Amino acid sequence: MSTEELKMASFVLVVDNEAIQQLTLNDGRIMIGRSNKAEIRIADETVSARHAVIDGVRNEENGDIEYFIQDLSSANGTYVSGRRVRRKRLKDGDIVKVGWNTFKFLG
């Protein structure tokens, strides 16, 4: 297994403390929302069509990918570890709430 594979991050949908679905993250942008154009599509009235994005940005110094979540002026907000955020760097174990949905960032 390469070093790059070991550093892969994921975004996990959690229901009743159980992992339901897992998405592997790379560098680039992933949209979260109700829109058909969202990579993480959520059928939930509390989620905006274009709710938030996760940006994977490669650190030029060490080559690692850092992940940031950014709220796209959604009606109900994006929460990381209980706090409403506009943009925040994600850390391993962060709990992200989008509408009624809970995700765990593993990075």
* Number of folded domains that form the chain: 1
Where residue 21 sits, what CATH number does that domain have?
2.60.200.20
Q: Where are the beta strands (DSSP E) in 16-86?
A: 18-25, 28-33, 40-41, 52-58, 65-71, 78-80, 83-85
- Selected residue with higher pLDDT from 21 and 90: 90
List pLDDT tens digits, range 13-43. Answer: 898 888 888 999 988 999 999 999 999 999 9
- Selected residue with higher pLDDT from 88 and 1: 88
- Secondary element (H or E) of residue 88: strand 87-89
Backbone angles phi, psi at 47, to 5 degrees: -105, 130
Does the predicted model carry a pTM greater than 0.85? yes
pLDDT grade, residue 8 (50/70/90)?
A: confident
**Residue 91 scores a pLDDT above 60:** yes
Q: What CA–CA distance (Å, rounded) separates 44 from 106?
A: 23
Q: What CA–CA distance (Å, rounded) separates 58 from 55?
A: 10
Q: What is the extent of the structural domain holding 69?
A: 3-106
Q: What CA–CA distance (Å, rounded) separates 34 from 48?
A: 6
- What is the average pLDDT value for the chain, to the nearest integer? 91
**Residue 52 scores a pLDDT above 80:** yes
Q: What CA–CA distance (Å, rounded) separates 82 from 6?
A: 28
